[in-house]
């Protein structure tokens, strides 16, 4: 235990995930302007901002589906700017999507096994039954239990409710045993009860893997986040603790407005 906390203390210096001066334009639109932010061990770093602020563009660059025009992305101290998305995933970057991206015809378990498969590097086996591979299935089931989907394991994913699909998204990300998580609006479209459960779950999850959280649900953000960055017109106008952000005049003006 003491050993663990020592390591934690030491690694607290080096961020798990970091962007330095990311810039990205789409023709005339500057979607990211010199974005530098980091994600430290054990924290939830929320990114908020109005629609069109460039949140998805930022996530795309962090996860490797978009190439930045300038700047760099670092994962566990390694420069991954020029690595493909799948290599970043291999290196420990888990991701959930705003719009569920799952194999809808497959079962819930199959989707989770896919995650375990990616992490295990056993996708070039042409013979054995994937669902009888002990290690794959155990990893998958464990992740499903953690998000509370164990009873739906054999259901077709298309049959799941919207909220359950979000849970499955998280479960698939967990099967990778990620070192950092990027979550794009995990609460979107969830009922109050679902949001509450997921909030509680993410609260614990941060110890295992710090989370970069893009979220519209302000209650969730304010109750979960250790730090918040505010993105407006592709620019980070403020980063700080919940209280600092609440108090920040520029943020209130640009974004929170009357809400705060």
Partner 1 sequence: MIRETHVNALTLALLVAIPLWAVIADEPFTITLMTRAAVFAIAAVGLNIALGLGGLVSLGHAVFFGLGGYAMGILAHHAQTYTALSEWPVLIEGTKSMPVIWLTAIAVSSLAALVIGILSLRTAGVYFIMITLAFGQMFFFFAISWSEYGGEDGLSIYVRNGFPGLNTLDPIQFYGLCLALLCLVLVFAWRLAKSPFGLALNAARQAPVRVETVGLDPTRLRLVAFVLSGAIAGLAGALFADLNRFVSPVMFSWQTSGEIMVFVILGGVGRLFGPVVGALVFVALEHWLGGLSDFWHIYLGLLLLLIVLFGRGGLIGMVCGREAVHD
Q: How far is the CB of 92 from partner 1 (least distance, A)?
A: 10
Residue closer to partner 1 by CB (options 169, 215) is 169
Angle between helices 162-175 and 108-120 in degrees, nearest 10:
20
Residue closer to partner 1 by CB (options 4, 154) is 154
Q: How far is the CB of 119 from partner 1 (least distance, A)?
A: 7
Q: How far is the CB of 21 from partner 1 (least distance, A)?
A: 25
Q: How far is the CB of 183 from partner 1 (least distance, A)?
A: 12
Separation between Cα atoms, residue 165 and residue 158, nearest integer Å? 9
Contacts of 226 (CB under 8 A, 6+ apart): 43, 44, 45, 206, 241
Residue closer to partner 1 by CB (options 136, 202) is 136
Residue closer to partner 1 by CB (options 45, 88) is 88
Inter-residue contact 62 to 213 (CB < 8 Å):
no
Burial 190-201 (b: 16+ CB within 10 A, else e): beeebbebbbee
Inter-residue contact 96 to 183 (CB < 8 Å):
yes
Q: How far is the CB of 176 from partner 1 (least distance, A)?
A: 6
Separation between Cα atoms, residue 114 and residue 123, nearest integer Å? 9
Under the rule (CB under 8 A), what is the footprint of partner 1?
63, 65, 84-87, 89-90, 94-95, 97, 101-107, 109-111, 113-115, 117-119, 121-131, 133, 136, 154-156, 172-173, 175-176
Residue closer to partner 1 by CB (options 182, 254) is 182
């Amino acid at each position: 235990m003491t050993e663990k906390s020592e390591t934690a203390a030491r690694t607290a210096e080096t961020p798990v995930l970091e962007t330095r001066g990311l810039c990205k334009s789409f023709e005339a639109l500057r979607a990211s302007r010199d974005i530098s932010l980091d994600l430290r061990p054990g924290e939830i770093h929320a990114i908020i901002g109005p629609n069109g602020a460039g949140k998805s563009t930022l996530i795309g660059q962090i996860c490797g589906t978009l190439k930045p025009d300038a700047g760099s992305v670092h994962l566990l101290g390694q420069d991954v700017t020029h690595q493909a998305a799948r290599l970043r995933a291999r290196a420990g970057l888990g991701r959930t999507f705003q719009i569920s991206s799952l194999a809808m015809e497959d079962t819930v378990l199959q989707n989770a096994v896919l995650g375990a498969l990616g992490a295990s590097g056993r996708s070039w086996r042409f013979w054995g039954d994937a669902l009888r591979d002990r290690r794959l299935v155990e990893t998958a089931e464990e992740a499903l239990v953690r998000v509370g989907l164990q009873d739906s394991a054999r259901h077709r994913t298309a049959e799941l409710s919207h909220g359950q699909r979000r849970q499955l998204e998280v479960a698939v990300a967990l099967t990778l045993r990620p070192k950092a998580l990027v979550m794009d609006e995990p609460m979107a479209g969830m009922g109050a009860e679902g949001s509450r459960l997921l909030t509680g779950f993410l609260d614990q999850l941060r110890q295992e893997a710090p989370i970069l959280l893009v979220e519209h649900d302000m209650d969730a953000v304010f109750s979960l986040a250790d730090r918040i960055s505010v993105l407006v017109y592709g620019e980070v106008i403020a980063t700080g603790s919940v209280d600092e952000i609440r108090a920040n005049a520029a943020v209130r003006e640009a974004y929170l407005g009357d809400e705060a």
